[in-house]
Every structure is written in structure tokens, then in C-alpha cells.
Amino acid sequence: MNVAINWPETPLKTAGNPENKARPGMEKALLKTLGKMTYGIYILTTSYKEEVNGMVASWVSQISYDPPMVMVAIHPNRYSHHLIAQSGCFALHLLARNQAHLIEHFKGPDPETKFASTPWIRGKTGCPVLTSCLGYMECEVKASYRPGNHTLFVGEITDAQAFSEGQPLSTFDYTGVYLGKE
Ligand SMILES: Cc1cc2nc3c(=O)[nH]c(=O)nc-3n(C[C@H](O)[C@H](O)[C@H](O)COP(=O)(O)O)c2cc1C
């Protein structure tokens, strides 16, 4: 897919920092290259006490088979970040390629809009489980790191279900780019 992208004209925030090892002047090439990296596009949900929330997340990876573990990179500005930090749990949902419309609902700030758009139940951890997705994993946070402007939450998978067959949604199905600037 050929996508026209308006790259930000402002340099990386850290580019003027003498401690930053980035080569001066590489911002444009870097952003263009990062923007071509391919990811799955997931809905991450979380809850703390009665509160629930969900967000779109693409900086996600499996990091262990035994025990089964995944890692998500979440910006501290996200409300979900606050809830994961409080509760120590999150659920990751794989969407089908024909569920790209859910990105629009879950990339905004309003939990009511998010959860009105799709059926859900409470999972074992208390996190919302979206029952119309391809499948999900519930995770308990085992570690967190802050190497850059996102927090890496390492989650051990404590429950998982596959609801249906289908091709998973990825950045090939989305015309925007998540650069993670803020
Ligand atoms: C395709 C896509 C991928 C995204 N990936 C991430 C991600 O990996 N980490 C992150 O912190 N935000 C990511 N976001 C941004 C959040 O989904 C967005 O800021 C959301 O409104 C956060 O909701 P919250 O503040 O209610 O938690 C992504 C957005 C889109 C559209």
C-alpha cells in the first residue's frame, strides 16, 4: 500500500541534547524509516477497581514462550498507563482485518465511546475482554522499565482464548503511523 504521510517538520525533541548520540540531521530519514516498520494493531484494555479503559497499541511483542510473556510500550500520558500501573494487569486483543473501524473508537480518550462500540465482558483479571475479536491474552505485569519516553510493561499471560479464525489487523491495514512522540 502506498501511503502519503505528512512527516512532522520539527526535529526530534532530543536532537539538540549533546548527550544524545543521534547523528545531527538524520531526523527525516529516521522518521521515514520508523514509519515503515510493521506491527500488529491491538486493542489493549485494563481496569482498576470499577474503572475500565482501552486503547489502540501497536508497540507490542512476545518476549518469552516459557513462561508465556508479552511486552507493551505505553506512553505515560495515556490514561491506560495510569490504570496498568495501579492494577498490574492488562488484556491484549487481536483484531480481524475487517475490524479496522475499532481503531477510530479506541484511539480517543473517552471510555464510553470505546466500549459502546463493541461487546465485552470482564476477564479473570478484571480487565475488559472484547468478545468480538479474534482472540485475547490476559496478562499480569511482572516488570516495567522506562528506557525512553514509553514504559515497557512486561506481562505474563495468565489466560488466553481464540474466538475465531481470520487474518489479524496490522499496520498494512492502517493509513496513519504511530510515531510515539507524545
Ligand atoms: C495505530 C495506533 C497505534 C498506537 N500504539 C500505541 C502504543 O503502542 N503505545 C501507546 O502508548 N499509544 C499508542 N497509540 C495511541 C493511543 O491509542 C491513544 O493515545 C489513546 O487515546 C490512549 O487512550 P487512553 O489515554 O484513554 O489510555 C496508538 C494509536 C494508534 C492509532
Strand 69-74 and strand 151-162: pairing? antiparallel
pLDDT at 111: 87
- pLDDT higher than 90, residue 119: yes
pLDDT at 9: 47
pTM to 2 decimal places: 0.91
- Kindly give the distance from the C-alpha atom of residue 42 to the centroid of ligand 1, in angstroms, as a whole number: 10
73 CB within 6 A, ligand 1: yes
Q: Whose CA is nearest to atom 29 of ligand 1?
A: 56
58 CB within 6 A, ligand 1: yes
Low-confidence winner among 32-36, 54-58, 133-137 (lowest mean pLDDT)? 32-36
In this prediction, residues 14-36 reach a mean pLDDT of: 78
97 CB within 6 A, ligand 1: no
48 CB within 6 A, ligand 1: no
163 CB within 6 A, ligand 1: no
What percent of the chain clears pLDDT 90, i.e. is strictly above it? Answer: 77
Domains of the chain by residue range: 40-173
- Kindly give the distance from the C-alpha atom of residue 22 to the centroid of ligand 1, in angstroms, as a whole number: 25
Is the domain defined by 40-173 classed in CATH 3.30.300.30?
no
Which of ligand 1's atoms lies nearest the C-alpha of 75?
11
pLDDT at 137: 98
Complete DSSP assignment for the chain: ---------SPPTTTT-TT--SPTT-HHHHHHHHHT---B-EEEEEEETTEEEEEEE--EEEEETTTTEEEEEE-TTSHHHHHHHHH-EEEEEEPBGGGTHHHHHHTSS-HHHHHHTS-EEE-TTS-EEETTSSEEEEEEEEEEE-SSSSEEEEEEEEEEEE----PBPBGGG-SS------
pLDDT band at 112 (very low <50, low <70, confident <90, very high): confident
Say which residue, 164 or 148, is predicted with more confidence: 164
pLDDT band at 14 (very low <50, low <70, confident <90, very high): low
